[in-house]
């Protein structure tokens, strides 16, 4: 296996082959149809070939290309079933694995960053990586004090590769768009680029992970491994076992799915309230389902292990109170007040005037999970929402085009959508309202008038 391709010309050539490949397969498909094959069979074959090429290239390149693939993977559940089938296996592969760095490269990085005697820091070190991600790979080891640890080693040239890939992918955004119907790919790529420098900085990641580990140290539901050692390009944390969430999605029992979904929702909303940080990379590869602290296998005792704090959103006051207030008032049918809040926060531009009742009608189906005591997230439900917004003939599509997403809400929005995507992949039944009432500021009607007045007149 070769090193991470570092030369821009090499990476650009690989990525440039993607749209050419798409065009070539379209021509191939036309020929097949002329030759007598049914359109349905040809479409399935085209999708399979496209998936194989796309994710083979993304996986080989790692860097920004693979990061883009991981970001796409959580939206897989929004695809129509006839499209999702061929992509599902290829998407899932990106969440847990990628071609590894050669052992000599790993040793070289460790020697450069930890010193010539780096092996003395470990009682054991496994050269074969246990996981590989977009900018680094993880090796299982035993620290010199006997603790089992995960050693994350950053790919040499990862920063250069990330920026190069994402710049190149942004040029192909229009061609890649059909992968997720109804979703604008270009802003996703732009937002990923904005986070590159933070994710490359293992010092920032270590700080965010330490803060979470300290806050959740005695939590009965969430496990965050503590940081053992950190330096440039190397991060050593405590090791945790458990069932990868991708495996729960593929083969989990209904009890495992529901428990994982409940804890995922709990972590999404409780994290910012407790730490002032939002874990902003919620793809299944970053979560594990663990037995209870006493080893119990009872479903209500299972815990959620959370990994990879390279991308976080800093929210010192927790999630904005306006989100909770607006969500509750939407459920209460208070169209005028909701519209005023959205205008005040910049979701509706000053130059645009919309019908408050139409805005309420647009929002209500999306927030349906917050209304029920418990809600079953499913691929069917999210596909219905995606189709409603993507259909250019629908009022929802026309209204959605006129709404604006303020920069301060961009990452919160993506994390929330991604988490909902994972919940739908899990097909989990979740008491979402419980988590909102416990952790989301403004969702309960305390100090109602003061919150609305302060926001509208800010």
Domain boundaries, the chain: 242-458
Band (300; pLDDT cuts 50, 70, 90): confident
Q: Considering only CA atoms, which of 402, 280, 278, 391 is closest in space to residue 352?
A: 402
Give φ, ψ of 124 to 5 degrees. -145, 150
Q: Is a pLDDT exceeding 80 seen at residue 321?
A: yes
Over residues 268-292, the mean pLDDT reads 93
Per this entry, what is the length of the chain? 458
Band (281; pLDDT cuts 50, 70, 90): confident
Q: Is a pLDDT exceeding 50 seen at residue 20?
A: no
254 contact partners, CB below 8 Å, separation of at least 6: none
Q: Are 16 and 9 in contact (CB under 8 A)?
A: no
If phi > 0 it is left, if psi is from -120 to 50 it is alpha, else beta; for residue 10 that is alpha
Mapped onto helix, strand or coil, the DSSP state of residue 311 is coil
Over residues 108-132, the mean pLDDT reads 94
What residues are labeled active site?
A: 281
**What does the block give as tokens for 1?**
């296996």
Band (81; pLDDT cuts 50, 70, 90): low
Greatest mean pLDDT among 161-170, 180-189, 387-396: 387-396
Band (67; pLDDT cuts 50, 70, 90): low
Query: So what's the pLDDT on residue 305?
Result: 97
Query: So what's the pLDDT on residue 28?
Result: 35
313 - beta bridge partners? 278
Give φ, ψ of 390 to 5 degrees. -80, -25
DSSP 146: S
**In 201-313, which residue ranges form alpha helices assigned H by DSSP?**
202-215, 245-251, 254-275
Q: Is a pLDDT exceeding 80 seen at residue 88?
A: no
pLDDT digits over 396-429, tens only?
888 988 888 887 888 898 899 889 999 999 999 9
Greatest mean pLDDT among 28-32, 162-166, 168-172, 232-236: 232-236
Note if the pTM is more than 0.75: yes
Counts for the chain of helices (H) and strands (E), in that order: 20, 14
């Amino acid at each position: 296996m070769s090193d991470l391709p570092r030369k821009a010309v090499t990476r650009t050539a690989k990525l440039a082959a993607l749209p050419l490949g798409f065009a070539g397969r379209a021509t191939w498909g036309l020929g097949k149809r002329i030759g007598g094959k049914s359109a349905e069979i040809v479409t399935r074959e085209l999708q399979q070939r496209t998936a194989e090429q796309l994710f083979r290239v993304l996986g080989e390149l790692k860097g920004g290309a693979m990061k883009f693939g991981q970001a796409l993977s959580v939206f897989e559940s929004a695809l129509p079933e006839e499209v999702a089938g061929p992509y599902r296996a290829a998407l899932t592969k990106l969440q847990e694995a990628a071609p590894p760095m050669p052992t000599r490269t790993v040793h070289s990085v460790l020697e450069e960053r930890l010193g010539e005697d780096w092996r003395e820091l470990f009682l054991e070190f496994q050269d074969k990586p246990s996981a590989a991600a977009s900018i680094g790979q993880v090796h299982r080891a035993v620290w010199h004090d006997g603790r089992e640890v995960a050693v994350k080693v950053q790919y040499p040239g990862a920063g250069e590769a990330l920026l190069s890939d994402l710049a190149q992918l942004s040029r192909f955004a229009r061609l890649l768009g059909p992968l997720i119907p109804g979703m604008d790919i270009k802003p996703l790529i732009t937002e990923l680029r904005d986070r590159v420098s933070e994710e490359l900085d293992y010092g920032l990641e270590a700080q965010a992970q330490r803060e979470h580990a300290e806050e959740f140290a005695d939590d009965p539901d969430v496990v965050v491994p503590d940081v053992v050692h950190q330096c440039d390009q190397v991060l050593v944390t405590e090791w945790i076992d458990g069932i990868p969430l991708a495996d729960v999605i593929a083969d989990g029992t209904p009890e495992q799915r529901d428990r994982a979904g409940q804890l995922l929702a709990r972590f999404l909303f409780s994290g910012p309230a407790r730490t002032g940080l939002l874990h902003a990379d919620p793809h299944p590869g970053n979560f594990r389902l663990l037995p209870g602290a006493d080893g119990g296998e009872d479903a209500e005792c299972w815990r959620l292990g959370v990994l990879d704090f390279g991308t976080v959103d800093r929210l010192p006051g927790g999630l904005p109170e306006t989100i909770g207030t607006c969500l509750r008032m939407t459920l209460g049918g208070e169209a005028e007040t909701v519209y005023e809040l959205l205008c005040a926060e910049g979701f509706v531009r000053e130059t645009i005037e919309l019908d408050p009742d139409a805005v309420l009608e647009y929002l209500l189906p999306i927030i349906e999970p917050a209304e029920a005591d418990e809600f079953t997230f499913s691929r069917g439900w999210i596909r219905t929402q995606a189709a409603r917004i993507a259909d250019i003939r629908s009022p929802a599509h026309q209204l959605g085009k006129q709404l604006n997403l303020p920069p301060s809400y961009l990452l919160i929005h993506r994390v929330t959508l991604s988490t909902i995507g994972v919940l739908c992949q899990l097909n989990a039944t979740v008491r979402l309202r419980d988590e909102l009432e416990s952790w989301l500021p403004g969702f309960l009607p305390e100090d109602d008038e003061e919150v609305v007045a302060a926001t509208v007149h800010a």
